[in-house]
Amino acid sequence: MTNSHPYGMDMQGDSIWRNLTHRCAIQENWGSKMLQNVAKQLEVYKPWNMEEKLEESCHDIVSDAPNNAPVGLRDNSNSFDKSCARKAAVLICIFEGHEGELRVILTKRSTKLSSHPGDVALPGGKMEEGDADDTETALREASEEIGLDPSLIQVVAHLEPFFSKNQLRVVPVVGLLDNIGNFKPSINIDEVDAIFSVPLEMFLKLDYYRYEERECKGLKYVLHLFDFESDQGTFLIWGLTASILIKIASIIYQRPPSFKELPDFQQVQRYC
């Protein structure tokens, strides 16, 4: 992606990112009481640490992941070395809705794209050479795709990496948006067809949920699917995006989903 915005937004090269990375400490008197509580809760969240192992080499596989790591990483199989995966980051942008509920911003990818056309996704994309870290990648991509000003976002946490079917390592960056009214969407029509928000808690509720059984090299897993109806139409939230949102909703609301958590692609991707 380039640094020029299709609606004339001046990205100013590297200067727009100055002092924006690693802003993980919540500012005093920032945001509503609800968002402050979410920030404090996420600041103490410690994902199981696979990063150091991923950076060591393209030959060693994690064999000492803790018990809460995905099942496929708790052994010594060498079918796919995740340290060699391409890197990407997505922004889980959470804000407080008009009824006091937590909501998250999602996009519908352009049907003109060659990769995952028309799919619902979190703002984000592949890491570029000039990106300092995952935070910078997620904020840059959100700015380019939907015109979200990075200065509006308070980054409070990173989740552990997720892996896509095409061997892309995706780090979810959790950011809070203090006032949704300050966000003036400017959609990059080459990449995004629509922008909308959903209640975060829906990813723990059976009402919105269904699944499909899949198989990869003899291993069975489920594909999570959530149907969301809005004034803009019906959106299907599935796959990697659904898995990430189930995870962050479980952390914030401190409870598991009401539906049975069957193994998904994250548990079998090591072998696929």
pLDDT confidence of residue 57: 35
* Least confident interval from 44-48, 129-133, 169-173, 221-225: 44-48
Q: Rounded to the nearest 10 degrees, what angle do helices 239-253 and 33-43 cross at?
A: 100
| Per-residue pLDDT at 43 | 84
43 or 242, higher pLDDT: 242
Would you say residue 170 has pLDDT above 70? Answer: yes
Is the pLDDT at 15 greater than 90? The verdict is no
Q: What is the reported pLDDT for 107?
A: 97
Q: Give me 36's structure tokens.
A: 């402050």
Lowest-confidence pick of 71-85, 99-113, 184-198, 245-259: 71-85
Residue 35 lies in a domain: yes
The predicted-structure confidence for 184-213, as pLDDT tens digits, reads as follows 999 999 999 999 999 999 999 999 999 999
pLDDT above 70 as % of the chain: 75
43-57 pLDDT tens trace: 888 886 544 444 443
Q: Is the pTM of this model over 0.85?
A: no
How do residues 65-94 score in pLDDT, each as one tens digit? Answer: 444 444 444 443 444 444 456 899 999 999
Other C-beta atoms closer than 10 Å to the C-beta of 94 total 25
Is 247 within the bounds of a domain? no
Is pLDDT larger for residue 132 or for residue 1? Answer: 132
State which residues form the domain around 50.
Answer: 13-207
How many domains in the chain?
A: 1
pLDDT at 48: 66
Q: Where residue 156 falls among pLDDT bands split at 50, 70, 90?
A: very high
Lookup result for tokens 């904020």: 139
> What is the DSSP code string of the chain?
--SB-TT--B-TGGGGGTTTTT--SPPTT-S-HHHHHHHHHHHT------HHHHHH-SS-------TTS-GGGSS---S--GGGSEEEEEEEEEEE-TTS-EEEEEEEE-TT-SSSTT-EE-SEEEPPTT--SHHHHHHHHHHHHH---GGGEEEEEEPPPEE-TTSEEEEEEEEEES-GGG------TTTEEEEEEEEGGGGG-GGGEEEEEEEETTEEEEEEEEEEEETTEEEEEEHHHHHHHHHHHHHHHTS--SS----BHHHHGGG-
Measured between alpha carbons, how far is 154 from 149 in angstroms, rounded to an integer? 11
CATH of the domain at 92: 3.90.79.10
45 located within any domain: yes
Evaluate whether residue 161 is within a structural domain: yes
Q: What percent of the chain has pLDDT over 90?
A: 57
Kindly state whether residue 271 falls inside one of the protein's structural domains.
no
User: What pLDDT was estimated at residue 16?
Assistant: 39
pLDDT of residue 181: 94
Which of 42, 67, 39, 69 has its CA nearest to residue 54?
69
In a domain, 213, yes or no: no
Identify whether 157 is part of a domain.
yes
